[in-house]
Amino acid sequence: MATEVAAAGPSARLPSSPARRDFYWLRSFVAGGVAGCCAKTTIAPLDRVKILLQAHNHHYKHLGVLSTLCAVPKKEGYLGFYRGNGAMMIRIFPYGAIQFTAFSQYKKMIKKKLGISGHVHRLMAGSMAGITAVICTYPLDMVRARLAFQVKGDHKYTGIIHAFKTIYTKEGGMQGFYRGLMPTVVGMAPYAGFSFFTFGTLKSVGLAQAPTLLGTPSLDNPDVLVLKTHVNLLCGGIAGAIAQTISYPLDVTRRRMQLGAVLPDSEKCLTMVQTLKYVYGNHGIRGGLYRGLSLNYIRCIPSQAVAFTTYELMKQFLHLN
């Protein structure tokens, strides 16, 4: 997700003692986690609709994005937009925290060990950070997808705990929580990588070419120049759109594999290749592999506005610059 591309390297003023460095890690974790939670809560209704459309929920399979947005509150009430959001919050806080922090550490490691810097090491570090965060939080994403796919009056799971227990007992133990992990990892590498790459490039070029127009001094460290809020929004939106377009078919594959046990065609979607072939063969490119993509583009602007603004404010509030 492009919201995670704003991770910055260690501040020049960062104290050198181990205790202070550990505390910096903690503050970085909190900043990334809070930013992710705020952004995801803001776009939760759009995320719910995306999952319903991606996996062709039988209650909404004949509807488009706008029609589904209107149909959900009529059928399930406005709280229906936030079905599964509790599991998402439990997942997104560590996800955002891990990815922000991992990106910074991977970037330093790649530069030190391999001697690679500039845009290439940003691309590599972003991909590695995204994969790390996904693997660490995937079971929570699985549960969240199952809960979000449910429709009022047609429940298989009563809540987060019940979903965990049911998946564990009926779908092969821990293995059941990692269904669809491969397309997620394969899709996350270009998604996170290009998100970091695009945003980082736009940010560095923008601040270098037009610092007065695009930048503003950080509140906690006037020596550090940060992007203005509306510029953060624009750069993040562009990065998210590019990364999402590249990786979206794998996102569709991941969702269908995650929802396998609750879909009637689950036996045809057991592996990544099988799922890609099935979706393409039955629904084509526009109606299958890229179904719901327009909704993802609509999600970019509010998601980036909230995520980048929150993260920048948290960085200044927690003295991370």
Render pLDDT for 61-110 as a digit per residue (tens, 0 to 9).
677 778 888 888 888 888 888 887 777 788 889 998 898 888 888 988 99
The residue-averaged pLDDT of 261-266 equals: 67
Indicate the helix (H) or strand (E) that contains 38.
helix 18-42
Q: What is the mean pLDDT of residues 267-287?
A: 81
**What pLDDT, on the 0 to 100 scale, is given for residue 10?**
39
Q: How high is the pLDDT of residue 209? A: 93
Under a CB-based contact definition with an 8 Å cutoff, are residues 103 and 125 in contact? yes
Contact at 8 Å (CB) between 294 and 284? no
pLDDT digits (tens, 9 = 90+) for 213-240: 999 998 888 888 888 888 887 887 888 8
> How large is the angle between the packed helices 229-258 and 119-149, nearest 10 degrees?
50
Instruction: Look at 237 and 58; give whichever has higher pLDDT.
Output: 237
- Which run of H or of E encompasses 225? strand 225-227
- Supply the mean pLDDT for the chain: 81
Burial class (CB in 10 A: 0-12, 13-18, 19+), 143: buried
- Cβ(207)–Cβ(267) below 8 Å: no
Residue 8: pLDDT above 50?
no
pLDDT of residue 129: 92
Q: What is the pTM of this model?
A: 0.73
